Amino acid sequence: MKKDKTIGGKVLRIMTGDITASDTDAIVNAANNRLQHGGGVALAISRKGGPAIQQESNRIGHCPTGGAVLTGGGKLKAKYVIHTVGPRMGEGGEDDKLRSATLSCLKLADEKGMTSLTFPAVSAGIYGFPMDRCAKIMLGEAARYLKGDSKIALVVFCLFDERACQMFEKAFDNLAD
């Protein structure tokens, strides 16, 4: 499944697939604060991209919740990995922290001259964030950003399973053009 929407002359896309196969300039990793890529999306990215991603992450050492840091993409098709830390459910201020994580990734991509990036559903896995809220927040933030003065031409949300894709599709269909 793949669905596009044009916003501010730029493309917002949702699709099912394997984020590690994305050929956008960067893929986003749902990381932990210590940047140790031991599970979920982070582990898949680290395995496919090779040890260079974890080695670079070790040198960086930390990323605050809602922030974003950049490493190379190792053996991935994407040249870069943007690591962001989303909120854990129950820690408080989760919606604002997820908005911040999404915005931090978009700003970092823009600062580095990237024109495309691919997101997973940040915090909706082991961090327990409800998938429907995740979809609404992340897609809404990306749409707002694309309406502004950005060099980013393509933002993709790559979902691994059908359930996630359905929730993102519902939020996607409710976005204003």
Confidence at residue 40, expressed as pLDDT on a 0 to 100 scale: 85
Residue 54 in tokens = 């974890």
Q: Mind listing the pLDDT tens digit for each residue in 19-69?
A: 999 999 999 999 999 999 988 889 999 999 999 999 999 999 999 999 999
HEC states along 79-137?
CEEEEEECCCCCCCCHHHHHHHHHHHHHHHHHHCCCCEEEECCCCCCCCCCCHHHHHHH
Looking at residue 177, what is its pLDDT? 60
| Closest of 30, 116, 20 to residue 77, by C-alpha | 20
Q: Tell me how far the alpha carbon of residue 31 is from its chain's centroid.
A: 10
Q: Which residues of the chain have pLDDT under 70?
A: 176-177
Structural domains of the chain sorted by starting position, each given as residue range(s) with its CATH number in brackets: 2-173 (3.40.220.10)
